[in-house]
Amino acid sequence: MPSKDKLNICMIGYRFMGRAHSNAYLKVDKFWDVDIHPVMHTVVGRNAADLQAFAKRWGWQKASTDWRESVTDPEIDLVDVGTPNNQHREMTIAALEAGKHVLCEKPLAATLADARAMRDAARKARGVKAWVGYSYRRVPAIALAYQIVRERDLGRLYHIRAFYLQGWGASPDVPLVWRFDKDAAGSGSHGDLGAHIIDMARFITGDEFVEVSGAISETFIKERMIPTATAGAGIASGAKASGKKGKVGVDDTVLFLARMKSGAVASFESTRFATGDENKHGLELNYEKGSIYFNFEDLNNLYFFDATLPRKMQGWTKIQASVPGEHPYAEAFWPTAHPLGYEHTFVNQTYDMLQELAGKEPVVPLADFNDAYETQRVLEAAVVAAKNRAAVKMREIK
Ligand SMILES: NC(=O)c1ccc[n+]([C@@H]2O[C@H](COP(=O)([O-])OP(=O)(O)OC[C@H]3O[C@@H](n4cnc5c(N)ncnc54)[C@H](O)[C@@H]3O)[C@@H](O)[C@H]2O)c1
């Protein structure tokens, strides 16, 4: 292994997440003081020409179209997997077996069986870390919600009301990109969007699911044009339609209810058909002594309702989670109320990974394969509940 203060990275996949992660590797040691510095060693993809251009633009030292050779390269310390969900299993297990740290994008896998195999491989691997990119944990306002729940006595939790609303799928002109393909993605809005809010609810509350019920899954547009190519920064932008149609194999929306271990009840809604909502996701948590509300389209703010104040003083407080020295992650960036964006969540995620590798505490916990497997079980429970039109106990989902 190379020097202790350097971390040689191999990143597989170089579009949406590839850009977000590359930016984070470039920025992390500019904004944060770190003991270990990431080195952008090898980027892997399938199209050699595009890959070369990407490597040059973002400063990757090497480009390779052979992921197997790259993940086992003795020079590599950490493998970063940002490919479609059905690729995660093979790539992460190969990396773990080669003794590499792994960052895998979410959801952990396309299927529960794949997720289980990955969790088991991570448990078996010695001396390496295996994380999953639930990046919204590192929005300062979300990290603040995590801290408030632990630092204040909020009393009993009654409700979790979680939503992930996108609208881009509603147009029938959006082609059949991999996110609509069951083999590649495993599920649609459910694994793509629902996974984030399940993780967010588990992360902030520390509560666990005991039962899932009332699940509905719907695919509104059953066929879409098969694309010949994909490009661009957006989820389906630049995808050219071939003229032939293919079957959409995944859900466009999933809604479900849940009971939590604490006795709280919960509702979850994920959709790509919320026309007018671009990336509106978050949750409201109603506790006995206060409530918390977050919406990513207003990501710099956390809303808190303090039910312990005199009645005439009660009301929602907008907290700009940006005060250096007070709010999580704020000290690395700008003065108070100079807002952060989406990309900072990945910079923060990389910082927390480097902290753990240096034997230090992350600002807030990262999701490991075990943790992400629990989220995958909830995804599976909702699929079973929707299929059987019946409640599912979490203990039935192994
Ligand atoms: N953390 C988040 O908020 C977040 C956001 C978006 C996507 N994701 C997750 O990241 C992963 C990738 O999504 P994306 O939006 O970046 O997809 P994308 O389509 O933008 O990029 C996928 C990349 O994987 C590459 N790829 C596909 N199959 C490959 C193979 N066999 N070998 C090598 N490279 C291969 C593609 O060429 C492309 O570069 C998914 O698991 C997705 O759920 C996470």
- Most ligand 1 atoms within 8 A of CB, residue of 15, 87, 91 to mutate: 15
Closest-CA residue, ligand 1 atom 36, reads 13
Closest-CA residue, ligand 1 atom 22, reads 83
Any idea which residue has 């059905």 for tokens?
A: 86
Q: Give a yes or no: residue 206 inside a domain.
A: yes
Q: Give a yes or no: residue 68 inside a domain.
A: yes
User: How much is the pLDDT for 243?
Assistant: 80
Rg of the chain over all Cα atoms, to the nearest angstrom: 21
Distance (Å, rounded) from C-alpha 204 to C-alpha 250?
A: 28
Phi, psi of 61 (to 5 degrees): -70, -35
Same domain, 243 and 330: yes
Same domain, 156 and 30: no
User: How much is the pLDDT for 239?
Assistant: 67
Burial 245-282 (b: 16+ CB within 10 A, else e): eeebbbbbbbbbbbbbeeebbbbbbbbbbbeebeebbb
**Ligand 1 midpoint to CA 84 (Å):** 5
Q: CB of 8 within 8 A of CB of 75?
A: yes
User: Domain range holding 141?
Assistant: 137-356+363-387
Q: Give a yes or no: residue 194 inside a domain.
A: yes
**Ligand 1 midpoint to CA 16 (Å):** 7
Distance (Å, rounded) from C-alpha 137 to C-alpha 121?
A: 24
- Most ligand 1 atoms within 8 A of CB, residue of 105, 134, 203 to mutate: 105
Q: Give a yes or no: residue 394 inside a domain.
A: no
User: How much is the pLDDT for 238?
Assistant: 62
- The distance from CA 178 to its chain's CA centroid, rounded to whole angstroms, is 17
Predicted TM-score (pTM) above 0.95: yes
**Ligand 1 midpoint to CA 324 (Å):** 33
Three-state DSSP class for residue 396: helix
Bridge-based pairing of strands 130-132 and 62-64 is: unpaired
> What CATH number does the domain containing 174 carry?
3.30.360.10
Distance (Å, rounded) from C-alpha 206 to C-alpha 202?
A: 5
Q: Which atom of ligand 1 is nearest to the CA of 134?
A: 1
**Ligand 1 midpoint to CA 54 (Å):** 15
Same domain, 245 and 286: yes
Q: Which residues line ligand 1 (CB under 6 A)?
A: 12-18, 44-46, 67, 82-85, 87, 105-106, 133, 135, 192
Name the amino acid, one letter, at 184: A
Q: Which atom of ligand 1 is nearest to the CA of 133?
A: 1
pLDDT digit string (tens) for 309-343?
A: 999 999 999 999 999 999 999 999 999 999 999 99
Same domain, 225 and 279: yes
User: How much is the pLDDT for 1?
Assistant: 44
**Ligand 1 midpoint to CA 95 (Å):** 17
Same domain, 341 and 227: yes
Same domain, 271 and 336: yes
**Ligand 1 midpoint to CA 17 (Å):** 6
Bridge-based pairing of strands 6-12 and 37-44 is: parallel
**Ligand 1 midpoint to CA 45 (Å):** 10
User: How much is the pLDDT for 228?
Assistant: 78
Based on the structure, what is the number of domains in the chain?
Answer: 2
Closest CA to 318 of 296, 336, 294, 342: 294
Q: CB of 144 within 8 A of CB of 327?
A: yes
**Ligand 1 midpoint to CA 257 (Å):** 29
Any idea which residue has 């003991």 for tokens?
A: 35
According to DSSP, the residues that pair with 7 across neighbouring strands are 38
Low-confidence residues in the chain, pLDDT < 50: 1-2
Any idea which residue has 């790509």 for tokens?
A: 272
Closest-CA residue, ligand 1 atom 5, reads 17
